[in-house]
Structure 1
Amino acid sequence: MQTNIQYEYIPIISSTMKARYQYRFYPTDQQRQSLAQLFGCVRVVWNDALAICKQSERLPSNNDLQKLVITQAKKTVERTWLSEVSNIPLQQSVADLGVAFKNFFSSLKGNRKGKKVGIPRFKKKTNQQSARFRIGGFSIKGNKIYLAKIGNIKPIWSRELPSAPSSVTVIKDCANRYFLSFVVEVEPVNIDAKNQSIGIDLGIKTFAFMSNGEKAESPDYSKLDRRVRKFQKKLARQPAYSRRRNRTRIKIANLHNQIADTRKDFLHKLSSKVVCENKTIVLEDLNVSGMAKNRKLSRAISLQGWREFRTLCDAKSQKYSREFVVISRWEPTSQVCSECGYRWGKLDLKIRTIQCLNCGIEHDRDENAAKNINKVGTGHCHDSKRTQRNCKTTSVAESVEASRITAPSGR
């Protein structure tokens, strides 16, 4: 049997932090029917509430929406079946819609950090389905979880929960896999670090080149990716809403899950190793969305999961009491010698090795960038302007021409 667990850390203002633990489970046929009914009710409540919000001039409160789409809807002939499922996930669906609108308006005003959040959209039957139970809608009985009006579910306990969960979310993904996601509180862990700091330069073939000389090769997704493209072409030729098209859709979802699980396992292991061994972790703020516009590299960049790796390092740094630093994307980390600080300018991607004309040291491009990232993140930078003044006779163009070029390594 296949098991799957993931955890992400959600910082809060206290000595503890919230973590999410996810376990896979295999429901019985009766439970599948009950869960399908629950997912359908949650989806309908969300869509009804969203339709009311879009038609209203002013956003209604959660209490008003619950009265309209749950309490009063149950009394109608079209929505009487809402009474057959637990009321807690339905109320939570309306509350989640309120949070989604709050995040959307905060993003419009610029009060929310990160990428812009879009307006909430209607849920589809073919997308991932979920239903959240708060305290009172679930209970833990030994190695089983009781869900209101669903019954006892036995997940695959790959590890123990560190504390009592505050909520549990039932998830069904696009490939018809079922998961239980628990939100628990965890205590920070104090582990002595071997090294003071480390800088990490992210790439494609070599996923991470570190300032201490270590490399982490990215998993090979090419075979699975070719199969995804093959089935996507087949899906495009099949009639809409046909059984064969649905089977092809599930095959594509399974292949995407294999890629995602492989990537997630690799990123979790690498991030845990980096955070546990180093006191300060330094990464570069990459413009991933801009880099993905490159027609030749967009697919390879999208498969790497650079943003997910940054999120994991940030979250685990809080767990292990580490310092996580992200330097500006405009820092010329690949244009400066990490030994003397001489700046040679921009280099073509095919140039993987370069020899500094100022100090004569030969650098690997990625290792040199990782060392510069570490220096910038820890505040130990060379005065590159002073170094350039001492070497006025050598231009940037001459330094590039004199660079040693090796075979491309898939950067």
Structure 2
Amino acid sequence: MNKKRIAILGSTGSIGTQALDVIRNNKETLEAYLITGRNNADLLIEQAREFHPEVVVVAQETNYLKVKEALKDLPIKVWCGAEAIAEAVTIDEIDIVLTAMVGYAGLVPTLSAIKSGKIIALANKETLVVAGELVIKEARKYNATIIPVDSEHSAIFQCLVGEFNPIEKILLTASGGPFLHTSKQDMAVITKEQALKHPNWTMGAKVTIDSATLMNKGFEMIEARWLFDCRPEQIQVVVHPESIIHSMVQFQDGSIKAQLGIPDMRLPISYALGLTKRISNDYPRVDFFGHKLTFFEPDTTRFPNLTFAYDAIAKGGNTPCVLNAANEVAVDAFLHDKLSFCDIPNLIEKTIDQMPYIINPKLQDFMNTDQESRAFATSLLRK
């Protein structure tokens, strides 16, 4: 069997490191052909020396010389910059592009990979949040396959394999984050240390904060709308603190399919890298006698970001792009002690209210909207 050659965009992040763990344990069938990183140059060097990819791309130009010098004794091409990432994913030898870059930065390289007809293992939800309609149109135009990697979307995808019946409803599960039962009064003094302690998942800082504010679930709702061609009102968020059921699909006869498993991102990653062929592993299994499965409605009074996401996709156009840009600024400010936890949704709402609306945006419109929204949101931090 020929090895599948994998490009990992964001190899030093949480998804990227877990993807390399899957590759490490399946060297006979998977190969890391291209890896990219931004700020963690030391880890990128360590990964390159272990996996010997054909190409390493350093997104942060200030780290380029350090990485290039550290790898000069190996036959590895070292490139630099965002444009290099977008170019690298088009290399003919690459079979699968795992897009695990954080935030808006994943959009352009994902579109580049799509135009090359690659199989996309999509872990960057912001790509579909910002420009979902454009991305799906391009995927159809260039016959590019998208396999979702988010645990919830992988679950929905798995529930639909072999199904020919239309979806009546998607039941999108959410852990509820670390503040599921925290009072509104106590939320006013939440620290970043508290917000970064997710009860079930090990994720990067940005995604962990998004989970704590429920923005992550709002983004996942938008992503599901585009991936599975359904209306936002067909997607119901269900808080499931145990994170054993990763999501469900309800059909027109009332039947529901669910995908269950331990909360371990290596499972949906390996499902995508195996191109839906399940790769055996020795990870822990679900203990049905050790878990009590519970479900709650989301509290949009304490977590208004979920409402913002539903409103943004209902309005459409460039509004989800504004939502994403404002959220990235707000989360970064919170992580750097420039904004309180409860002020995250306030900054997002003010930015959405002020940005010009474009009903049918093109790629350049998305780029302009992203820059303008970030600039406006950042200006609010100085007031």
* TM-score, structure 2 as length reference: 0.24
* Structure whose residues are more often helix by fraction: 2
* TM-score, structure 1 as length reference: 0.23
